[in-house]
Structure formats: C-alpha cells, structure tokens
C-alpha cells in the first residue's frame, strides 16, 4: 500500500499531552494491524536534545543508536514497543545543518538556496527516510509547540506541501485544549476555533480535532466545533484527563477513533489486538497496595518541568503494576544529606532508593552518603548510570577505606579516581567537544552467572542503552572485588564494567547504563522488576 502520513499539531497551548496522544494514536493503529512509525519534530536549533538542561526541558531520551532525543520518543517506545533511532527525531538545527552542508558541497548546482522550499523539502526528505527505514505503512509526525508560533511555520509548510502533492495520503490532527474557567464552570471552545483559524492561515485544514480537557467534551461543544471548523462531528474526538496515560488508547477506542481514522485514510482494520493493554489499563485503576520508592537526585524543578525523570518513573510504574502494587515515589534532595547527615534518617520512610542519572558535582556527596546508608541498613538500592558511579565511590571510601576515592568528574585531582574517563573522552573534554560525544546508545554486556542481574534477565547476553562520559576504573577492579563487590556485567571488547553488585546485601545493584529506556508497560525492565520486588519484601518485613 502507499504509505500514509499523519501530522499532529498543537493548538491553544502546549503541555496538554500531544506526545502521549501521538503515541496512543500509533498504538491504536498498530493494534489494527498496521506498521507505524512515530516522528518527533522539535523546533529547537539544537542538533539534538543532548545539550539541553533536563530540569527545564524534561528527560533526554536515548535511542538504540545513541540519538539523544526529546522525551516524547520514550512515549512512542512505551506505547508502540518500536525501537526509535535518529530517524524518528527531527530538529530545526538538523535540517539547517544538512542544507548548509549540501550548499557548501555545491550540491545545489549553482542555484540559490531558499528557506522555502528548501527547508520544508529537507523536512519532507527526513520524514520519508524514516518511513522507508521502518517500512512504515503509517507515519505519525508530531510537530512540537503550537500553531501560530513563528518557529513552527516551516514544519507546517512541509505538511502543507506534502498534502498538496499527495492529498489522499496526508492528514492532520489538531490537539487542542478546552479550558473550563472556574467562574463559568463550563467548557469553552473559542480558543480552539482561533487555533483552527491560525492553522487554516498556514494553508492547512485539519482532518480531526482532538479535544483535551479535564472532562469529556459535551455534545453541544462538539456541534459548535464541527460547524465552525467545518468537520463532521465524528471527527471531533474527546480526550479528557485520565487516571493513567495508558488509559488513553482505550479511551480513544471508546470514541471509535481508530476506525474513524482508518476510514479517513481509506483503510480497513486487519485485526483487533488491544486485549492485554486494556487489561493492564483496567488493572492499574484497581490497585490498592502501595510501595514507597525514594529517588535521591537533584533535578527536582517540578514547577516548570515534571518530566525530568519520566522514563525512571514509568519504569517504576511498570515494575510495581507487575506485582499489583502502585508506587508512591518520594523525591529526596541529595544536598540535604550534605548539610546534615541526620537528614539521612528520612530514608527510613521508603522501601528502597534509586539514584538516577545526573551530571556534575552538585549533590554527589549527598548521594554517596545515601548509598552508604542503604548499604549499612540493607535497604534495596538501584543506581542508574551516575547511581552506579556513586555506589562505586561510596563502597571504595567506606569498605576499602580509600577516603579520597572519587570520580574525576567531581574532583579531577582525586588521589583515587575509581571513576574516570577513557582517553578519547579526555580529548573531548579538553576541546569542549560536548555534542553527541558521550558513550551513547545500546551496548552489550555479558553477565556473571552468579549475579542478581543474571537472575533478573535470565540470559547471559543483554543489551542496554548508555549515556555517560565517565567509567568504572579497572585499576581498582581487583581491590573492590576482593572487598565484596561483584562485577556482574562486562562489555567486551572494551572490558568495561557495566554492572556492579554488593554481595553482602539483599539487593544493591548499580548499572552503567539506563535500563529505564527499555521498560515497557507490559514488559517491565527485569532489573526494575527485581528492585521493586526487593523493596516490597523489605516493606513487608518492617510491618
Ligand atoms: N555524569 C556521569 C557521566 O558522564 C553519569 C551520566 C549519567 O548519569 N547519564 O559518566
């Protein structure tokens, strides 16, 4: 079949769940038997998300091939279980960089290079390349931001140009927001009407309007939007707030959204396959038992951004649901422990702690103290990337007695660099060559048969995604192992330590990778699963 393209654009305001909607649409079309691919188009001039501050812009999601991307790629992977790579991510920066590269190589054959059509053409080329590489029958392209923003225009122009050449196969969904002002107590559709007008002025008439609101859209409002925006009522879809994001595809199905889209695309459902997903979404709502998990970190700027640790949170969710528990996540500010060690007592409130990824010295001493507290108190500990390095330092200081043990990231002159950089990274740092130069993407690890990791994965060869510049220093391997640290996973040919475990402890594991990127709602990451199991066990034993 000829591939179909669905653009998803935002109206009225951002942060209303456009990414999750795009992921959920991918999920329902996939469940009807179609091969889908999701793309995120970001307006940033940044080449990728690797240099963006997570506390303001949300987590940097790492693809299998090492692309450092917007967190929405995480939503796509969690919903459609399809691996994302650089092909699934487009930024303004990438597009301009490629056009300028071609111009410098004389590839425009002496013609002048114009913003229009050359920039939209490059956007279209990238979209089609993603279709080809994924052999996708339906490509869903989420355009970041909202219509009317200056920086969105060239992406809208790409959508318009595609539609102009291929009207039967290109579609647009506007995700809009319907506010309910407290004083009025009723939903208002006027902002949506204006947003549609703005989209129209870019030459695009949407094929569907997805109405985000706290409550389902009333029939009256549907009628108004239908009349003013020239769309049949069945194409105005209600998308109210839900208990969990995994309800969204189920809700869409209640509105028959999948069928309505397929009909518009001229396609028929090949199968129906959302049973397991529906079961999970239903189960989540009924769970009563709680397990309390602490996250010891520092990027807790939740006023402006609540998505800094989104994949970690989702992984904890998946793992807890697996055991019919719901997690209660407690945010623990690492710096508090540096100010006063007595504050560590608050760790007694939680059943297990996670030290997630992070960069720079701030907070690291507090995390090191928390790791030691967890080791002494036999509290389940899971270190993700930075958290593994923290565990190494803490163990070297407290068990080996190397009081000055540190990472060269925190103290370049440390006497005992138990975490340090490889040669090539030293050059990168010296030359300030920071973009996309970390150890990135999927690497294999071979697991020790007697390890907790092997017990979790039930196989010896695993592959997980990385994003870091510093590594476990092999010069200290023997010493640490003799003191009771199990080297549980190694990457060959580099002989890099990927997993460490503390032997005299119920569950204390640090991984140099980011297992949170491969957890799926119906298939929790094995290490998260076993960490949560250990936390549940500890919680029960303390009652
Ligand atoms: N800052 C550490 C490094 O670069 C850890 C990175 C991370 O946690 N992603 O190695």
Q: Which of 68, 77, 314, 516 is catalytic?
A: 516
Does 499 contact ligand 1 (Cβ within 6 A)? no
Q: Which two tokens stand for residue 3?
A: 């591939």
**In the chain, how long is the greatest CA-to-CA distance?**
77
CA nearest neighbour of 211 among 222, 199, 198: 222
Q: In a mutational test of the pocket of ligand 1, which residue from 389, 417, 428 has the highest number of ligand atoms less than 8 Å from its CB? A: 389
What is the pLDDT of the chain when averaged over all its residues?
A: 94
pLDDT given at position 303: 60
Identify the band that residue 13 occupies on the pLDDT scale cut at 50, 70 and 90: confident
Q: Is the pLDDT of residue 306 over 80?
A: no
The per-residue pLDDT for range 22-81, each reduced to its tens digit, is 999 999 999 999 999 999 999 999 999 999 887 778 899 999 999 999 999 999 999 999
Task: Kindly report, as residue ranges, where domains of CATH 3.40.50.880 are found in the chain.
Answer: 288-419+473-487+505-541
Prior bond of 325 cis (ω within 30°): no
Tokens 């998308």 sit on residue = 239
Q: Which of 77, 385, 416, 505 is catalytic?
A: 385
pLDDT given at position 494: 87
Determine which residue's CA is closest to atom 6 belonging to ligand 1.
468
Q: What percent of the chain is modeled with pLDDT above 90?
A: 88
Does 372 contact ligand 1 (Cβ within 6 A)? no
The per-residue pLDDT for range 153-184, each reduced to its tens digit, is 999 999 999 999 999 999 999 999 999 999 98
CATH architecture of 288-419+473-487+505-541: 3-Layer(aba) Sandwich (3.40)
Q: In a mutational test of the pocket of ligand 1, which residue from 308, 355, 359, 412 has the highest number of ligand atoms less than 8 Å from its CB? A: 359
Q: What is the mean pLDDT of residues 242-263?
A: 92
Instruction: Specify which residues 333 forms β-bridges with.
Output: 297
Does 507 contact ligand 1 (Cβ within 6 A)? no
Determine which residue's CA is closest to atom 1 belonging to ligand 1.
359
333 assigned to active site: no
Buried b (16+ CB within 10 A) or exposed e, 324-342: ebbbebbebbbebbbeeee
Tell me the C-alpha distance between 536 and 380, whole Å.
Answer: 10
> 528 and 474 in contact (C-beta within 8 Å)?
no
Helix (H) or strand (E) holding 353: strand 352-355
305 assigned to active site: no
Task: Kindly report, as residue ranges, where domains of CATH 3.40.50.300 are found in the chain.
Answer: 4-281
Q: Which two tokens stand for residue 226?
A: 């239908």
Determine which residue's CA is closest to atom 3 belonging to ligand 1.
468
pTM of the model: 0.95
Q: What is the mean pLDDT of residues 283-307?
A: 86
How far away, in angstroms, is 374 Cα from ligand 1 center? 21
The per-residue pLDDT for range 105-124, each reduced to its tens digit, is 999 999 999 999 999 999 99
514 assigned to active site: yes
79 Rama sector, left if φ>0, alpha if ψ -120 to 50, beta otherwise: alpha
Q: Which ligand 1 atom is nearest residue 360's CA?
A: 1
**What is the number of other CB atoms lying within 10 angstroms of the CB of residue 196?**
24
Q: Is the pLDDT of residue 304 over 70?
A: no
514 Rama sector, left if φ>0, alpha if ψ -120 to 50, beta otherwise: beta
Return the CATH number of the domain spanning residue range 4-281.
3.40.50.300
Instruction: Specify which residues 288 forms β-bridges with.
Output: none
Tell me the C-alpha distance between 40 and 242, whole Å.
Answer: 23
Does 386 contact ligand 1 (Cβ within 6 A)? yes
Q: Which two tokens stand for residue 338?
A: 């540096």
How far away, in angstroms, is 460 Cα from ligand 1 center? 25
pLDDT given at position 15: 77
The per-residue pLDDT for range 211-223, each reduced to its tens digit, is 999 999 999 999 9
Outline where DSSP puts E strands in 100-169: 138-143
Buried b (16+ CB within 10 A) or exposed e, 526-541: bbbbbbbbbbbbbbee
How far away, in angstroms, is 400 Cα from ligand 1 center? 23
Q: How far is CA 431 from the centre of its chain?
A: 29
Determine which residue's CA is closest to atom 8 belonging to ligand 1.
357
pLDDT given at position 204: 96
């Amino acid at each position: 079949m000829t591939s179909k393209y669905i653009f998803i654009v935002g109206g009225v305001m951002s942060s209303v769940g456009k990414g999750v909607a795009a992921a959920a649409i991918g999920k329902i079309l996939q469940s009807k038997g179609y091969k889908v691919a999701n793309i995120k188009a970001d307006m940033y001039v940044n080449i990728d998300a690797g240099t963006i501050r997570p506390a303001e812009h949300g987590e940097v999601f790492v693809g299998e091939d090492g692309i450092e991307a917007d967190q929405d790629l995480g939503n796509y992977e969690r919903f459609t279980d399809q691996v994302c790579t650089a092909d699934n991510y487009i930024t303004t920066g990438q597009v301009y960089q490629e056009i300028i590269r071609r111009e410098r190589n004389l590839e425009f054959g002496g013609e002048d290079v114009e913003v229009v059509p050359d920039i939209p053409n490059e956007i279209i080329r990238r979209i089609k390349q993603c279709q080809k590489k994924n052999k996708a029958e339906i490509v869903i392209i989420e355009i970041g931001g909202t219509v009317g923003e200056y920086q969105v225009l060239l992406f809208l122009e790409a959508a318009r140009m595609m539609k102009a050449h291929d009207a039967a196969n290109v579609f647009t969904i506007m995700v809009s927001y319907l506010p309910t002002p407290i004083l009025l107590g009723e939903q208002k559709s006027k902002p949506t009407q204006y947003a549609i007008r703005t989209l129209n002025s870019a030459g695009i008439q949407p094929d569907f309007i997805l109405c985000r609101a706290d409550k389902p859209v009333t029939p009256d409002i549907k009628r108004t939007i239908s009349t003013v925006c020239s769309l049949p009522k069945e194409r105005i879809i209600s998308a109210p707030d839900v208990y969990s994001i995994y309800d969204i595809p189920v809700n869409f199905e209640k509105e028959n959204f999948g069928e309505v889209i397929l009909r518009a695309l001229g396609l028929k459902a090949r199968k129906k396959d959302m049973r397991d997903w529906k079961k999970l979404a239903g189960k989540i709502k009924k769970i009563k038992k709680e397990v309390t998990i602490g996250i010891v970190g520092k990027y807790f700027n939740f006023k402006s951004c609540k998505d800094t640790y989104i994949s970690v949170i989702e992984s904890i969710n998946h793992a807890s649901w697996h055991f019919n528990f719901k997690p209660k996540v407690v945010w623990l500010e690492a710096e508090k422990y540096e100010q006063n060690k007595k504050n560590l007592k608050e760790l007694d409130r939680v059943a297990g702690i996670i030290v997630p990824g992070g960069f720079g010295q701030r907070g690291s001493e507090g995390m090191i103290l928390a790791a030691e507290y967890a080791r002494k108190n036999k509290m389940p500990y899971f270190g993700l990337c930075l958290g593994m390095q923290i565990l190494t330092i803490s163990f070297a200081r407290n068990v080996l007695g190397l009081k000055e043990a540190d990472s060269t990231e925190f103290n370049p002159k440390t006497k005992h660099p138990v975490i340090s950089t490889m040669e090539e990274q030293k050059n990168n740092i010296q030359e300030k060559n920071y973009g996309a130069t970390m150890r990135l993407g999927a690497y294999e690890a071979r697991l020790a048969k007697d390890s907790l990791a092997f017990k979790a994965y039930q196989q010896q060869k695993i592959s997980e995604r990385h994003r870091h510049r510093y590594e476990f220093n092999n010069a200290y391997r023997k010493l640490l192992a003799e003191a009771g640290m199990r080297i549980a996973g190694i990457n060959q040919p580099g002989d890099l330590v990927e997993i460490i475990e503390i032997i005299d402890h119920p569950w204390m594991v640090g991984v140099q990778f980011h297992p949170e990127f491969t957890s799926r709602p119906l298939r929790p990451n094995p290490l998260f699963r076993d960490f949560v199991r250990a936390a549940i066990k500890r919680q029960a034993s303390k009652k």
